[in-house]
């Protein structure tokens, strides 16, 4: 899915120039580069709630090609190739390692619904999963309650909780999800409780509605009900965001969503965790009011259909391998009387009702597909995927183990299996995407040395190269021109020595180094990393990183 | 007071100063990246517009929001429009049905319906049931049905009946049937039933074919001249462990039943019927491929001097069993039929199937063998919803030609 076409830096400039309009100066680096935060939380006038048609979303994405599909570098990144913090994304585990406690806590800021009676305010019979769309605990906090399907106790609820923790740690805005156990007696009907029936009509809810609703969901052997309590997000629901274009009534939303790196890279994370339901309908724009400013914050919601869970049943065997509608494959199956098919139909899955259907042996991160085409995923370039793969690889085995434990899966064997699958899929993601570009990364200047790490080597996904070659240049930021400094180095590994000219240069001068791997036999892996420096009063500062694809 | 004002003044000044500092910190650096983005945001703010739906998006949005499908399914105040549901050959059929579930403290379901067709077929039904007694372990049901089918097909009795002998007759009957049963687990039911059947036959109205009584005689078509009333008593047991009865991919469905039909008028047409059906679904390749097999038999036992009215004999042929032959092509006292299907998924909304059917009708139970079976084969398209086939198109071929069937629901 990820385009392998190279992006030329001149093209990148063109895109940037188009984006920032003709008035923008033609400099690669501006004085405030690299920026760490995109202030897209400017106060805006209240937009109108806009609910998407999920039928249309399916048809549009399956039979059309919405959004800009030209392969171009993500538009919302800084000059280091990173995603600045914004109303879409907050750099967390990928940049600053979270502690185990922080990872396990995830987005949760409390402990979930308080013990004692829960007041049911709204129930729902519509939609694919029955539940209570609004309850209020004894502290007055409000939650939506979702259940496991009969026969798959713990499956959808654990998936929902694990999804919120993994995607939160990755940097996305997600709701607080808590696993809860309760008995029906704990539920009280609110005085104005209503239920939405299958016709979308609301009527007064009664005790029988609760009973009937609970009859349709999984129940624990001890008679209690297990559910996920998803805390109602702060702010006003403005409807989902699309994976392409921008919201026309949000002035802060200037980067087409299909060109946002965190949405393109979400493909890699979704593949890792098998979030095949990553479509517009499972997102939410919330109008929040913070520090006197009103703005939209963008959320990923509803992780009940990730990992081995398909929300209302086990995940379909097709999930992750094929879109709902792929005409070529469908016609091939039709014409060959079913003799032709994809490899996924032969995959054998172990039977773990609390896990559902997921495995890691046949998983191919570069071929993974959601339910139907996603414009941002289709625009994902190796650089975007590399960015996301770094985040995926930031989760250690132990961290994964501890996060999965938060899913409270009672079958230890099933939990161990799930942990193993997540680790295996993580490594496949890392192995593929850290080798898709030059993974020399994590640059730091210490004295006269430039330190770095080769991530593919570090994680064991690539052999250690014979050497790293570095060619240094002066860089004219006004003209985007490089002049060789006649300083070439070859080192067995980091660090590289920074030429004296660069260290002693006057302020506001730019330099760049091109680093390549050299493998045995002298052949060079063509992909290079270009690191840009700006001389500032305090010394050299890394201001840019570009990776050839 | 002045002192208070002074304090307030200082407070306001301090706040303003802090606000100004904060603004200065937040202000993007001139010529910087953030200043560029800020300009873009200002520009967009000038051109802001509310998102709006147009064309197909608007239509689909309303379709979903207005719950059009659910409303159609739910009907109006319990009244539903119903399509089809009559015998093949009836022409386009339409009707209305009133359904109410969970009446009388949630234990009674009620259904009353009428439907008619272009060829003047009609069917009236009344059903009252209590399917959830004793925590859904006991069920009780009563159905009254009136049917008037003026162009029912009849080719004669026996396996050697000829296609060219097609005639038609009017079948008019009224049935009152009650049943009581027990349900264990979700997959096992056992029960008994009893009722009364009053039937009449008459000349068929399809002018393309001769009316039955003009071609056949009572000697070769029992009860052609006089149609007795019957009482019916019987028992049944069913084990149904199919995963999704609407589109099964695994499991099985096994049914045995016995019924006694007693002639209430002349004691000439009393008979016992033994029926068995065996369905098995064998999935492979992650249930994307299914081998479906069905064997069904209906055997009739009569005492000396008794026989079975022609219109109560089991029939073979058509969309449900022997595809490639016309509906009701064969009829006799006994029947056996086998169906084998290889089903494969084309995509989520469509399965296809290759099928082979074999079966026969026979007069004597000594002919219960695999000899002289009629055969048919073909290909099918099954359009699925989440858990059920909603449209089936089967193309069947036999020695009598090719038939195409459009049916709602699965074959078995």
Contact A39 B26 (CB under 8 A): yes
How sure is the predictor about A525, in pLDDT bands with cuts at 50, 70 and 90?
Answer: low
| Sign (positive or negative) of CA dihedral A188, A190, A191, A195 | negative
- H/E/C letters for each residue in A470-481? EEEEEEECCCCE
pLDDT reported for residue A19? 55
CB pairs under 8 A between A and B: 144
Q: Nearest residue of A to residue B381 by CA position?
A: A334
CB distance from A51 to chain B under 8 Å? yes
Q: How many angstroms away from the CA of B350 is the closest CA of chain A?
A: 9
Least CB-CB distance to A338: which of B39, B40, B344?
A: B344
Give mean pLDDT, residues B104-111. 90
Q: How many angstroms away from the CA of A16 is the closest CA of chain B?
A: 11
pLDDT reported for residue A4? 37
The pTM for the full model equals 0.88
Contact B34 A199 (CB under 8 A): no
How sure is the predictor about A489, in pLDDT bands with cuts at 50, 70 and 90?
Answer: confident
Asked whether the predicted pLDDT for residue B11 surpasses 80, the reply is: no
CA A162 and chain centroid, separation: 13
Instruction: Using an 8 Å CB-CB cutoff, list chain A residues near B31.
Output: 25, 30-31
Q: For strand A524-536 and strand A539-547, is the pairing parallel, antiparallel, or unpaired?
A: antiparallel
Quote ipTM for the complex. 0.89
Q: B371-376 long-range CB contacts below 8 Å, 24 or more apart?
A: B372/B159, B373/B338, B374/B159, B374/B316, B374/B322, B374/B325, B374/B330, B374/B398, B374/B399, B375/B324, B375/B399, B376/B322, B376/B323, B376/B324, B376/B325
Q: Cα–Cα distance between B125 and A518 in angstroms, integer? A: 84
CB distance from A251 to chain B under 8 Å? yes
Instruction: Using an 8 Å CB-CB cutoff, list chain B residues near A316.
Output: 348
Q: How many angstroms away from the CA of B246 is the closest CA of chain A?
A: 16
Residues recorded for chain A? 549
Q: How many angstroms away from the CA of A42 is the closest CA of chain B?
A: 9
Q: Cα–Cα distance between B256 and B277 in angstroms, integer? A: 6
Q: Within 10 A of B81 (CB to CB), how many other CB atoms are there?
A: 12
Sequence-ordered alpha helix ranges (H) in B131-286:
133-136, 212-215
Q: What is the pLDDT of residues A254-279, one digit of tens each?
A: 999 999 999 999 999 999 999 999 99
Residue A120 bridge partners (DSSP): A135, A189
Which SS3 state, helix, strand or coil, does residue A510 take? strand
User: Which is higher by pLDDT, A19 or A487?
Assistant: A487
How sure is the predictor about B1, in pLDDT bands with cuts at 50, 70 and 90?
Answer: very low
Instruction: Using an 8 Å CB-CB cutoff, list chain A residues near B286.
Output: 317, 344-347, 349
Instruction: Using an 8 Å CB-CB cutoff, list chain B residues near A338.
Output: 289, 342, 344-346, 352
- The DSSP secondary-structure symbol of A521 reads G
How sure is the predictor about A39, in pLDDT bands with cuts at 50, 70 and 90?
Answer: very high
CA A536 and chain centroid, separation: 35
Q: How many angstroms away from the CA of B377 is the closest CA of chain A?
A: 15
What backbone phi and psi angles, to 5 degrees, belong to A263?
Answer: -85, -35
Asked whether the predicted pLDDT for residue A11 surpasses 70, the reply is: no
Q: Cα–Cα distance between B191 and B5 in angstroms, integer? A: 92
Asked whether the predicted pLDDT for residue B383 surpasses 80, the reply is: yes
Least CB-CB distance to B70: which of A199, A329, A337?
A: A199
- Give, in degrees to the nearest 5, the angle at Cα A166 between A163 and A171: 115
Structural tokens at position A188: 């009280």
**Least confidently predicted of A18-27, A148-157, B67-76, B86-95:** A18-27
What backbone phi and psi angles, to 5 degrees, belong to A41?
Answer: -115, 30
Q: Residue B10 contacts by C-beta under 8 Å, 6 or more apart in sequence?
A: none
Q: Cα–Cα distance between A70 and A533 in angstroms, integer? A: 30
Q: What is the pLDDT of residues A495-512, one digit of tens each?
A: 999 999 999 999 999 999
Residue A203: exposure state from Cβ atoms within 10 A (0-12, 13-18, ≥19)? exposed
Q: Cα–Cα distance between B192 and B257 in angstroms, integer? A: 9
Instruction: Using an 8 Å CB-CB cutoff, list chain A residues near B72.
Output: none
Residue that is written with structure tokens 């009860």 in the block: B223
Give mean pLDDT, residues B255-271. 94
Contact A337 B29 (CB under 8 A): no
**Least confidently predicted of A21-30, A385-394, A428-437, B236-245:** A21-30
CB distance from A212 to chain B under 8 Å? no
Least CB-CB distance to A254: which of B40, B57, B346?
A: B40
| Measured CA distances, A110 to A137, A139, A177, B10, B410 (Å) | 13, 11, 10, 39, 51
- H/E/C letters for each residue in A229-279? EEECCCCEECCCCCCCCCCCCCCCCCCCHHHCHHHHCHHHHHHHHCCCCCC
Q: Cα–Cα distance between A153 and A358 in angstroms, integer? A: 16
Contact B41 A249 (CB under 8 A): no
Q: Nearest residue of A to residue B39 by CA position?
A: A20
Cis peptide before A495 (omega within 30 of 0): yes
| Sign (positive or negative) of CA dihedral B215, B219, B220, B224 | positive
Give mean pLDDT, residues B24-41. 82
pLDDT reported for residue B18? 46
How sure is the predictor about B15, in pLDDT bands with cuts at 50, 70 and 90?
Answer: very low
Asked whether the predicted pLDDT for residue A185 surpasses 70, the reply is: yes
pLDDT reported for residue A9? 36
Q: Beta-strand (E) ranges in A24-141?
A: 118-124, 131-136
CB distance from A332 to chain B under 8 Å? no
Nearest CA to B145 among B72, B85, B192?
A: B85
Residues recorded for chain B? 412
Instruction: Using an 8 Å CB-CB cutoff, list chain B residues near A59.
Output: 56, 60
Contact A19 B53 (CB under 8 A): no
CB distance from A290 to chain B under 8 Å? no
Q: What is the pLDDT of residues A186-204, one digit of tens each?
A: 999 999 999 887 777 788 9
What is the full DSSP assignment across A402-466?
HHHHTT--S-HHHHHHHHHHHHHHHHHHHHHHTTTS--EEEEEEETTEEEEEEHHHHTTSSPPPS
pLDDT reported for residue A409? 98
Contact A23 B39 (CB under 8 A): yes
Give mean pLDDT, residues B125-154. 95
Asked whether the predicted pLDDT for residue A59 surpasses 90, the reply is: yes
Mutation target vs A (from B24, B32, B36; most A CBs, 10 A cutoff): B36
Cis peptide before A34 (omega within 30 of 0): yes
What backbone phi and psi angles, to 5 degrees, belong to B86?
Answer: -110, 180
Q: How many CA atoms lie within 13 A of B189 on its CB side?
A: 22
pLDDT reported for residue A127? 58
Asked whether the predicted pLDDT for residue B25 surpasses 50, the reply is: no
Cβ pair A308, A274 in contact under 8 A: yes
pLDDT reported for residue B408? 84
pLDDT reported for residue B379? 97
Which SS3 state, helix, strand or coil, does residue B265 take? coil
CB distance from A346 to chain B under 8 Å? yes
Which SS3 state, helix, strand or coil, does residue B238 take? strand
Structural tokens at position B48: 């802001």
pLDDT reported for residue A107? 97
Q: What percent of chain A has pLDDT over 90?
A: 83
Contact B60 A59 (CB under 8 A): yes
Q: What is the pLDDT of residues A91-149, one digit of tens each?
A: 999 999 999 999 999 999 999 999 999 999 998 766 567 789 999 999 999 999 999 99
Asked whether the predicted pLDDT for residue B13 surpasses 60, the reply is: no
Q: What percent of chain A has pLDDT over 70?
A: 94
Contact A19 B40 (CB under 8 A): yes
Cβ pair B283, B344 in contact under 8 A: no
Instruction: Using an 8 Å CB-CB cutoff, list chain A residues near B28.
Output: 32, 39
| Measured CA distances, B348 to A348, B147, B354 (Å) | 20, 38, 18
Least CB-CB distance to B67: which of A31, A200, A325?
A: A200
| Measured CA distances, B16 to A380, B9, B19, B21, B123 (Å) | 46, 11, 5, 9, 84
Structural tokens at position A80: 């280091």
Contact B346 A60 (CB under 8 A): no
User: Which is higher by pLDDT, A523 or A341?
Assistant: A341
Instruction: Using an 8 Å CB-CB cutoff, list chain A residues near B292.
Output: none
Contact B34 A32 (CB under 8 A): yes
Q: Within 10 A of B50 (CB to CB), how many other CB atoms are there?
A: 10
Computed over every residue of chain A, the mean pLDDT equals 91
Q: Cα–Cα distance between A351 and A446 in angstroms, integer? A: 53
Asked whether the predicted pLDDT for residue B330 surpasses 80, the reply is: yes
Q: What percent of chain B has pLDDT over 70?
A: 93
Instruction: Using an 8 Å CB-CB cutoff, list chain B residues near A347.
Output: 286
Q: Nearest residue of A to residue B29 by CA position?
A: A32
Least CB-CB distance to A251: which of B41, B65, B349?
A: B41
Q: What is the pLDDT of residues A207-218, one digit of tens each?
A: 888 988 898 899
pLDDT reported for residue B102? 84
Q: How many angstroms away from the CA of B49 is the closest CA of chain A?
A: 5
CB distance from A326 to chain B under 8 Å? yes
Q: Cα–Cα distance between B105 and B294 in angstroms, integer? A: 40
CB distance from A347 to chain B under 8 Å? yes
Instruction: Using an 8 Å CB-CB cutoff, list chain B residues near A53.
Output: 53, 57, 60-61, 63-64
pLDDT reported for residue A522? 55
Asked whether the predicted pLDDT for residue A246 surpasses 90, the reply is: yes
Asked whether the predicted pLDDT for residue A6 surpasses 80, the reply is: no
Residue B73: exposure state from Cβ atoms within 10 A (0-12, 13-18, ≥19)? exposed
Q: Within 10 A of B83 (CB to CB), how many other CB atoms are there?
A: 11
What is the full DSSP assignment across B102-133?
EHHHHTEEEEEEEEEETT--EEEEEEEEEEEH
């Amino acid at each position: 899915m990820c385009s392998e076409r190279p992006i030329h830096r001149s093209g990148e400039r063109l895109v940037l120039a188009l984006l920032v309009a003709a008035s923008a100066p033609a400099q690669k680096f501006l004085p405030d580069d690299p920026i760490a935060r995109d202030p897209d939380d400017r106060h805006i006038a209240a937009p109108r709630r806009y609910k998407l048609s999920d039928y249309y979303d399916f048809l549009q994405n399956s039979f059309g090609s919405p959004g800009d599909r030209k392969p171009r570098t993500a538009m919302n990144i800084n000059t280091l190739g990173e995603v600045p913090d914004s109303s879409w994304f907050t750099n967390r585990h990928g940049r600053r390692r979270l502690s185990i406690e922080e990872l396990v806590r995830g987005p949760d800021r409390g402990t979930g619904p308080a013990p004692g009676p829960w007041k049911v305010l709204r129930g729902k019979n519509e939609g694919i999963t029955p539940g209570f769309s609004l309850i209020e605990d004894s502290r007055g906090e409000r939650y939506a309650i979702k259940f496991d399907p009969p026969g798959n106790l713990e499956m959808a609820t654990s998936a929902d909780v694990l999804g919120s923790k993994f995607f939160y740690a990755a940097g996305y805005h997600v709701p607080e999800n808590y696993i809860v156990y309760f008995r029906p007696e704990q539920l009280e009907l609110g005085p104005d409780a209503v239920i939405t029936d299958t016709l979308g009509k609301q009527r007064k809810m009664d005790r029988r509605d609760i009973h009937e609703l609970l009859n349709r969901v999984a129940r624990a052997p001890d008679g209690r009900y297990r559910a996920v309590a998803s805390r109602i997000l702060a702010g006003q629901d403005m409807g989902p965001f699309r994976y392409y274009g921008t919201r026309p009534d949000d002035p802060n939303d200037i980067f087409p969503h299909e060109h946002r790196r965190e949405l393109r890279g979400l493909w890699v994370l979704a593949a890792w965790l098998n979030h095949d339901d990553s479509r517009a309908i499972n997102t939410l724009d919330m109008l929040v009011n913070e520090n006197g400013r009103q703005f939209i914050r963008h959320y990923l919601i509803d992780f009940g259909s990730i990992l081995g869970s398909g929300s209302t049943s086990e995940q379909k065997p097709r999930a992750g391998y094929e879109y709902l509608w792929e005409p070529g494959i469908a016609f091939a199956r039709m014409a060959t009387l079913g003799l032709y098919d994809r490899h996924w139909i032969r995959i054998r899955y172990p039977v773990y009702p609390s896990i559902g259907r997921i495995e890691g042996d046949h998983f191919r991160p570069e071929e993974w597909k959601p339910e139907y085409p996603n414009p941002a995923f289709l625009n994902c370039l190796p650089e975007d995927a590399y960015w996301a793969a770094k985040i995926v690889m930031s989760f250690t085995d132990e961290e994964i183990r501890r996060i999965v434990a938060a899913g409270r899966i009672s079958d230890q064997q099933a939990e161990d299996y799930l942990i193993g699958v997540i680790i295996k899929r993580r490594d496949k993601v890392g192995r593929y995407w850290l080798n898709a570009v030059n993974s020399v990364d994590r640059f730091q200047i210490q004295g006269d040395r430039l330190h770095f790490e080769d991530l593919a080597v570090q994680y064991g996904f690539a052999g250690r190269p014979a050497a790293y070659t570095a060619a240094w240049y002066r860089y004219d930021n006004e003209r985007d021109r490089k002049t060789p400094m006649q300083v070439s180095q070859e080192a067995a590994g980091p660090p590289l020595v920074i030429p004296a000219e660069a260290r002693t240069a006057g302020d506001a001068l730019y330099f760049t180094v091109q680093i390549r791997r050299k493998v045995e036999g002298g052949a060079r892996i063509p992909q290079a990393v270009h690191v840009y420096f700006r001389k500032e009063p305090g010394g050299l500062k890394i201001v840019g990183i570009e990776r050839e694809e | 007071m002045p002192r208070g004002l002074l304090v307030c003044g200082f407070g306001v000044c301090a706040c303003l100063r802090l606000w100004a500092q904060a603004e200065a910190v937040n202000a993007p650096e001139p010529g910087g990246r953030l200043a560029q983005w800020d300009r873009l945001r200002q520009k967009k703010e000038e051109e802001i517009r509310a998102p709006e739906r147009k064309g197909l998006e608007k239509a689909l949005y309303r379709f979903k929001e207005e719950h059009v499908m659910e409303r159609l399914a739910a009907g109006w105040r319990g009244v539903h429009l119903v399509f089809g549901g009559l015998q093949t050959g009836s022409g386009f059929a339409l009707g209305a049905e009133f359904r109410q579930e969970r009446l009388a403290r949630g234990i009674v379901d009620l259904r009353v319906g009428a439907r008619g067709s272009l060829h003047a077929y009609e069917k009236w039904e009344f059903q009252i049931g209590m399917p959830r007694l004793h925590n859904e372990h006991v069920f009780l049901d009563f159905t009254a049905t009136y049917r008037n089918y003026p162009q029912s097909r009849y080719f004669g009795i026996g396996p050697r009946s000829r296609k060219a002998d097609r005639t038609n007759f009017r079948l008019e009957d009224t049935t009152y049937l009650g049943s009581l049963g027990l349900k264990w687990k979700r997959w096992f039911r056992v029960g008994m039933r009893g009722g009364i059947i009053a039937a009449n036959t008459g000349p068929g109205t399809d002018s393309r074919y001769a009316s039955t009584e003009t071609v056949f005689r009572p000697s070769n078509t029992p009860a052609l001249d006089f149609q007795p009333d019957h009482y019916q008593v019987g028992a049944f047991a069913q084990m149904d462990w199919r995963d999704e009865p609407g589109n099964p991919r695994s499991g099985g469905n096994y049914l045995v039943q016995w019924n006694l039909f007693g002639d209430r008028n002349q004691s000439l047409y009393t008979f016992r019927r033994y029926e068995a059906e065996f369905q098995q679904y064998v999935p492979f390749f992650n249930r994307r491929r299914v081998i479906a097999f069905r064997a069904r038999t209906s055997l009739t036992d009569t005492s000396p001097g008794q026989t079975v009215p022609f219109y109560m004999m089991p029939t073979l042929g058509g969309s449900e069993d022997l595809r490639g032959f016309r509906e009701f092509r064969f009829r006799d006292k006994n029947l056996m039929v086998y169906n084998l299907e290889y089903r494969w998924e084309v995509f989520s909304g469509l399965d296809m199937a290759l099928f082979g059917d074999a079966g026969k009708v026979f007069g004597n139970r000594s002919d219960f063998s695999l000899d002289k079976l009629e055969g048919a084969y073909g290909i099918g398209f099954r359009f699925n919803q989440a858990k059920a086939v909603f449209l089936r198109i089967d193309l069947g071929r036999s020695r009598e030609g090719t038939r195409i069937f459009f049916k709602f629901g699965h074959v078995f």
